[in-house]
Amino acid sequence: MKESRLFQILYYLMDHESCTAEYLSRELEVSLRTIYRDIDRLSEAGIPIYTTQGRGGGIKLMEGFTLKKALLSGEEREMILSSLESLQLVGRNSDAILRKLSSLFQMQQDHWLEVEYSQWGGGAWDPRRFALLKEAILCLEEVDLEYYNAQGQHSNRRVRPLRLLFKSYAWYLKGFDCDKEAFRIFKLSRIVRIKSTGKSFERMEYPAIMNRQDVEMMEVRLHFSPSLAFRVYDEFDPSAIHKEMDGSLVVASTLPSGQWLEGYLLSFGAGVEVLSPQWLQQSLLAEAKKIVCMYNT
């Protein structure tokens, strides 16, 4: 308790120019004698703290003091404050920690970082889904998910959530599917509903190398018109892209097969041509004919 009180005094003095012993005595609910004894202990520990008498006097820290025993470089302090700012954006209340560390590091919060997880054209980011999964992971509690997979199939899953993953512009949940008795990855945007079960589980580690076994992958070669270069460079690895003399782009990549792939390629309209496999060409052609038929009726 004594150590906690000493830090409270130190934090307050770093955030204010000065204060009186009477004020600290009231706030910390200890006697004046205890406050003066704490000031002596801080001074003995090498903290440049002193008291002045008279009007405008009080307890002060030497101007420009920073707690260098934190053993953090300026860059490391900036990284810590930036990380705390990003936590606020996913529903983590870190205001008090930010204020304390900003005083501790003698650094101003410039709020230079802004992160928004909602998609363009979508609704506002709802931190409740993220927060519920985070708590379930930390508390080792199973959750029920209503989920749509990459093939558009709807299912209800009982999952042991293990880790949240941000990869390639999207959030994912890595967990153990109790129904399939296998490790799985779930895309957060495809989770329609999350419900806590109150059922706990033993801590388990997600395998270091784990392929998405619920999705069959396939190799494709695609030819894009120059007008779609912005999407190609956004959505494919640069090493998979070959630029032709006319500015068009050929992409060799591995993508999930099935209904998702057809819908994804159709989103490029007439700007993409499937070079291989041939059966995918025929599948897209059949889908395009259905679309034409629908609008001609």
**Which residue segments constitute the domains of the chain, with CATH numbers given?**
2-61 (1.10.10.10), 77-105 (no CATH), 127-200 (2.30.30.100), 217-296 (3.30.70)
Q: Give the tens place of pLDDT for each residue, 80-111.
A: 555 555 555 444 455 555 555 555 555 555 55
Closest of 258, 124, 133 to residue 187, by C-alpha:
133
Q: Which residue shows structure tokens 């052609």? A: 285
Closest of 161, 96, 112 to residue 133, by C-alpha:
161
Whole-number Å distance between alpha carbons of 69 and 67: 5
If DSSP codes are grouped into helix, strand and coil, which group holds residue 22? helix
Within 10 angstroms of residue 7's Cβ, the number of other Cβ atoms is 14
Helix H segments across the chain? 2-15, 21-28, 32-44, 74-88, 95-105, 127-139, 229-235, 259-266, 278-296
The mean per-residue pLDDT over the stretch 203-212 comes to: 72
Per-residue pLDDT, 171? 83
Taking the model in full, what pTM does it have? 0.50
Q: Give the tens place of pLDDT for each residue, 262-284.
A: 889 999 999 999 999 999 999 99
Q: Across all residues in the chain, what is the average pLDDT? A: 79
Q: What percent of the chain has pLDDT over 90?
A: 31
Whole-number Å distance between alpha carbons of 188 and 122: 14
14 — pLDDT class (breaks 50, 70, 90): confident
Q: Give the tens place of pLDDT for each residue, 140-196.
A: 999 999 998 876 788 999 999 999 888 766 788 999 999 989 999 998 888 889 999
